[in-house]
Amino acid sequence: MIEIKDLQTGFSAKTVSRSLSLKIESGSFVCLIGPNGCGKTTLLRTIAGLLPAKKGDIFINGKSLRQYSSKELARNIAYLPQVREIPDITVDTLVSHGRFPYLGFSRKLGRTDHEKIKDALELSNAGRFAEKRLKELSGGERQQAYLAMTIAQDTPILLLDEPGTYLDISNRFSVMETALKLNRKGITVLMTLHDLSEAMWFSPMVCLMDTCGSLRFSGTPQALYDSGLLQEIFDVSVAKTDFKKSYYVFLPKGDV
Partner 1 sequence: MSRLTSCGKGGKSLTLLPFLFLLTVLASLCLGSSPISPKELFLALSDTQSTAYRIFFYARLPRVLGGAVAGASLAVSGALLQSVLNNSLAGPNIIGVNAGAGLATLLVMAIAPYSVSLMPAAAFIGALCACLLIYAIASLSGASRTTIILSGVAVSSIINAASSSIKTFFPEITLSYNTFSIGSLSNITMDQVKWAAAYSLAGMAAAFLMSHDMNILALGEDIANSLGLKCRRLRFFMICSSSLLAGSAVSLGGLIGFVGLLVPHMSRMLFGSDNRITVPASAFLGATSLLFCDLLGRLLFAPFELHVGIVLSVIGGAYFVFLILKKKGGRLND
Count of positions (residues) in the chain:
256
Segment interacting with partner 1 (CB under 8 A) among 47-55, 174-182, 192-200, 224-232: 47-55
CB of 90 to partner 1, least distance (A): 8
91 binds partner 1 (CB under 8 A): no
Residue 251, CB-side half-sphere exposure with 13 Å CA sphere: 9
Out of 7, 38, 117, 238, the only residue in the binding site for partner 1 (CB under 8 A) is: 117
Cα–Cα distance, 233 to 251 (Å, whole number): 14
**Binders in 185-244 for partner 1, by CB under 8 A:** none
Is 109 within 8 Å of 93 (Cβ atoms)?
A: no
Nearer to partner 1, 79 or 248 (CB): 79
165 binds partner 1 (CB under 8 A): no
For the sheet with 77-80, list strands across it: 77-80, 157-161, 188-192, 29-33, 205-209, 215-219
Out of 28, 96, 143, 192, the only residue in the binding site for partner 1 (CB under 8 A) is: 96
Query: Under the rule (CB under 8 A), what is the footprint of partner 1?
Result: 45, 48-50, 70-75, 77-81, 84-85, 87-90, 92-94, 96-98, 100-101, 107-109, 114, 117-118, 149, 153
